[in-house]
Copies of this chain bind each other. A is one copy, B any other.
C-alpha cells in the first residue's frame, strides 16, 4: 500500500515544486525517523552560492544537526529525484536505512542537470576522466594515516 511512504514523498515533491518559485532548483528531500519528518532540504546551489547545497545534502546536514549526531541510522530519506553521486555518497556516509526516490537521473538529464555525466565519470578510471587528476607526494601524505592509526582516543566512523 505504501500510504505513509507516499505522503512523505509528496512532501519532498511539494518542496521541489515550491523551491522553483523561490529561486532554487527543482529538487526536494525529507528525512524521516520513527514515522516523523525530522529534516527537510531543497536545492540552494545558485541562491546560496554553494555547489554542495543539493536537497539531500541539506536535509542530511539538518537531520544530523537536529539529532546531534553524524550517524543517521534509523532514518530514511525521501528524495524527489534519484540522488547524484555526491548525494548518494552523503547518504552512505550518513548511514541512512533506506532511500525512496521519484524522478530518475535520466529525467534530471532531460532538464540539463549533470547527474548522468558525473555517474559516467566516476565509472572511468582516473586517467580517462575529464578532470585532469594527478597523484603527488603520496609518501608524505601517508604520515597522516600512520599517525591516525596510532592515535588511541580517535572516533572511528
Interface residues of A (CB under 8 A from B): 2, 5-6, 9-10, 13, 16-17, 20, 23, 25-28, 45-46, 48-52, 54, 57, 60-61, 64-65, 68-72, 80-82, 84-104, 107-108, 110-112, 114, 117-119, 121-123, 131-138, 140-145, 147-149, 151, 154-157
Q: How many copies does the complex hold?
A: 2
Question: A70 to B98, Cβ gap below 8 A?
Answer: no
Question: B2 to A136, Cβ gap below 8 A?
Answer: yes
Question: B72 to A51, Cβ gap below 8 A?
Answer: yes
Known: A49-B69, A70-B51. A20 touches B144 (CB 8 A): yes
Question: A103 to B141, Cβ gap below 8 A?
Answer: yes
